[in-house]
Structure 1
């Protein structure tokens, strides 16, 4: 039996039509309203997403390099017979200023020469170059008694000083100088042979504008062990250096030397320059990481770089310092022609080489890799340029001049990886220009005089400035 759909009467159709007609305007209004709201929102969202993909926030953008229009280096105080050498690494001429605020004087610089100041400069000296004299500004400080020499430091936000002392016989002074008008603030973290050292008095150290603060570690953290300092500038700009001293109890002869900072820990630290003589020969290594570091010493010679078979690898606990006595190693046959040392570590570490002979103290730190022309200022006396750790086969051009700009030596030498290189320099040379070509390397100048020895590491010249990325914020 078939079934049929119910029959609709005309009155039912008219009522259904009226219901459809009544419902249609409401739905049309709802859809129009929804479109009016959603379309703009989706459009704005798409624009914002595209903008985020193309242009990251300012905090995510790397600073941009710009021409250096003003640079400052700070020369530490001298005990006596203070002397300054100042030069432009780019060969610019003009005058730099010595001093801060209204108490300044001009020092003229001639092309390829060095300005010399030999009187009235025993105090801290702030040297400023502007315009063409800003890029590549370099200076050096020498002091007596004996020979003490150090490159004058630029301001730094973070650096390490390894092998300092805070005891009765080995004591150090951290010298902090603020070259600007406003105040600066510095934090000093201390590591010792037994691990991190509590030093609340070295946190939040205020350095007044145009002033110098000297922190005597023997008073701040009296401790009879090797120490390492991490100096961080939290506000303003500060240049730092350590004056290291050994004052033997009894008949020993007191001696001092400048200890420059190391920019950052590294897995490989190359220490070129081993002065002749007997006495203490030490490498002090600091492990500021959170892991145990395995460290080995290698000798750098003109033929090879190698780890002596009788020198064992050592471990350094996290946040601690270790002193390695190497006097026996340097007296051995294996080290008879050694030019330097290489400290290789499983974790980034900092390192200082120290030599004490009679009244002479020599300390050296890694200066960093050099791949472009650099300039080093040195005192008169017998000297050698020592190069190593080349990353490729390359050429190095060396020119040595007097402070008057007279050329005493010009040489072109080839260097290869895994060997050291020694270039004898004239005694009267005080301006040493080193130009690597197609190679990156490390190096130092070892100076030996009747008054003592000094090691001055090569460093890259500062030619540009970093400008933070600035991007307008959204409302």
Structure 2
């Protein structure tokens, strides 16, 4: 249970005890029924974008989008500011923070807003949105680097702050330059521990303990400075002792390009990693069991026609506290797929991610697919283009049907909606709908219509000479609503 939940419970308890006015209904001996919690649009959102690149040749595009939500009024406000600065038009006094213009300033729900940055000095961004712009607010950061270590297309969803993250798939191999980016959105400093786990267990590193992140700032930490040993596959566990941060790993390879490695979904006994491209030339699975027990997993690939077992890899044993990897090679073989991990024995929580490679020889490029949650009530991904976007949807259990809405473009266009049926145990990969008269970038919103749970991801690709540059973003619930307990007057609490 996180601090926010504890604070809410404490506030409700104090309110009921002191005023005797509001009480949350609960079931009891008198037969009183429990009132379902209301799902209401969030009133404020925070997003943090890591420093895009250290390359002087980097070109970065930001695309912000908030889907229209029922129950919101007015336009709201939103802005993405360089970390450590305040807005020139805010009038706020933030001590020594520098004044700067917002990189992106969205104006209304349903229409993307864009911004850009160039070079290796582009800073991390701290963003807030309120009112009608808060529910489901999504920002995509997409960077193009043509040459050098980590060249390729690097994409990441700017993320909400939290206190606990797992990153299976990081590395300190000699060809890799991996950084963990830690960004603090709050007015107080944050203190963070970065623990690494290799194939033999925890890696001792005093340097990774007690990392200080000043208020409204971002710190990139080079993983090779935390250990003298080169590890091909690592799992990072990032925890905040105090405060909260956003965290993402920038993974750059001297030969295979690079991309952002987002955090895996929370540890779970069953995991879905959706949207492996049909032309993947190599796929590596990295898994980690954070608890006290070993995990035995069954591996299945949900293809366009059904589930199959990857040749020679029907099961995987993951030792407790140790990072395990397996090379699945060209597992999709011309047919897009999604990897499904389920327990073959006892249910033991794990985290996992895939490193996906496309191309051959000197023209290879990589991206990552972390295990993700299903689309939930609604999922949103920004920065889609007229060409080069692929939407992958998978239903690991029962058949599911979803509605996909292509927003207006950032510079013009009319929204378009289309429904898709995803048969149970399959992966459906499609070119998503495109707004009519599209100008600029647009967003995709995916909502369940009926049936079983659906998981998804979006692949964005572009050619860089002979390099098939690409990046993949998963589609978990965009957290546009929050559960609020129902309450009503109950003066009888004064007599208890």
Q: Report if TM-score (shorter chain) is over 0.5.
A: yes
Aligned to 1:270: 272
Which residue number in structure 2 is paired with residue 361 of structure 1? 366
Q: Residues 389 and 130 of structure 1: is their aligned pair in 2 closer, same or farther, counting only changes over 3 Å?
A: same
What displacement does 1:95 show? 3.7
User: Which residue matches 1:444?
Assistant: 457
* Deviation, structure 1 residue 372: 1.3
* SS in structure 1 at match of 2:224: helix
Question: Which residue matches 2:477?
Answer: 460
Partner of 1:418: 425
Offset of residue 292 of structure 1: 1.5
Structure 2 match to 1:81: 59
In the TM superposition, residue 309 of structure 1 has moved relative to its aligned partner by 5.6
1:359 CA drift (Å):
4.5
State the TM-score, normalizing by the size of structure 2: 0.74
Matched, 1:375 2:375: no
2:263·2:370 contact (CA, 8 Å) conserved in 1? yes
2:86 is aligned with 1:101: yes
Aligned residue number for residue 305 of structure 2: 303
> What whole-Å deviation, never above 9, does each CA across 1:433-469 have from its counterpart, x for those lacking one?
111123432111122221311111002122345799x
**Compared CA separation, residues 311 and 393, structure 1 to 2 (3 A):** closer
Q: How many pairs are equivalent? A: 404
Deviation at 1:390, TM superposition (A): 5.2
> How do 1:107-122 and structure 2 match up within 5 A?
107-119=105-117, 122=122
The equivalences for 1:49-448 within 5 A come to: 68-79=42-53, 80-90=58-68, 93-99=75-81, 100-102=85-87, 103=99, 104-105=101-102, 107-119=105-117, 122-145=122-145, 146-225=152-231, 226-247=233-254, 253=255, 255-277=257-279, 279-308=281-310, 310-331=312-333, 336-345=334-343, 346-356=347-357, 357=359, 358-380=363-385, 381-389=387-395, 391-401=397-407, 402-404=409-411, 406-407=413-414, 409-425=416-432, 430-439=442-451, 440-448=453-461
SS at match of 1:122: coil
* Structure 1 length-normalised TM: 0.77
Note closer, same or farther for the CA distance 1:418–1:89 as it changes in structure 2 (3 Å cut): same
Structure 1 vs Structure 2 CA RMSD: 3.0
Give the distance between the partners of 2:172 and 2:234, measured in 1 at CA.
Answer: 8
- Residue 311 of structure 1 deviates from its aligned partner by 2.6
Deviation by residue 1:332-363 (Cα, 9 ceiling, x = unmatched): xxxx4242221224422111111234352211
Residues 9-68 of structure 1 deviation map (CA, whole Å, 9 limit, x = unaligned)? xxxxxxxxxxxxxxxxxxxxxxxxxxxxxxxxxxxxxxxxxxxx98xxxxxxxx998763
Shift, 1:268, TM fit: 2.1
- Once the two structures are overlaid, the 10-residue window that deviates more, 310-319 or 203-212, is 310-319
Q: 1:239 to 1:246 in 2, by over 3 A?
A: same
Moved more, 431-440 or 405-414: 405-414
Distance between the aligned counterparts of 2:160 and 2:130, measured in 1? 14
How far does residue 413 in structure 1 lie from its aligned partner after superposition?
1.9
User: Residues 336 and 429 of structure 2 are in contact (CA less than 8 Å); yes or no, is this contact kept in structure 1?
Assistant: no
Listed as ranges, the gaps of 5+ residues in structure 1 are 1-52, 55-62, 248-252
> Deviation at 1:140?
0.5
For residue 185 of structure 2, give the secondary structure of its aligned residue in structure 1. Answer: coil
Contact 2:201 2:323 in 1 (8 A): yes
- The residue number in structure 2 matching 1:45 is none
The whole-number CA distance in structure 2 between the counterparts of 1:409 and 1:449 is 23
In 1, the alpha carbon distance for the partners of 2:388 and 2:208 equals 40
Q: CA deviation at 1:279?
A: 4.6
Q: Whole-Å Cα distance in 2 between the matches of residues 437 and 467 of structure 1?
A: 24
Preserved contact between residue 89 and residue 374 of structure 1 (Cα < 8 Å): no
Between 1:318-327 and 1:89-98, the stretch displaced more is 89-98
Q: Provide, for residues 223-281 of structure 1, a one-character-per-residue CA deviation record: whole Å limited to 9, x for no partner.
A: 3221101112221121111101112xxxxx36221111123112222222223546542
Partner Cα separation in structure 2 for residue 422 and residue 278 of structure 1: 14
SS of residue paired to 1:438: strand
User: Highest CA radius of gyration, 1 or 2?
Assistant: 1
TM-superposed CA distance for 1:389, in Å, is 2.7
| 1:399–1:410 CA contact under 8 A, matched in 2 | yes
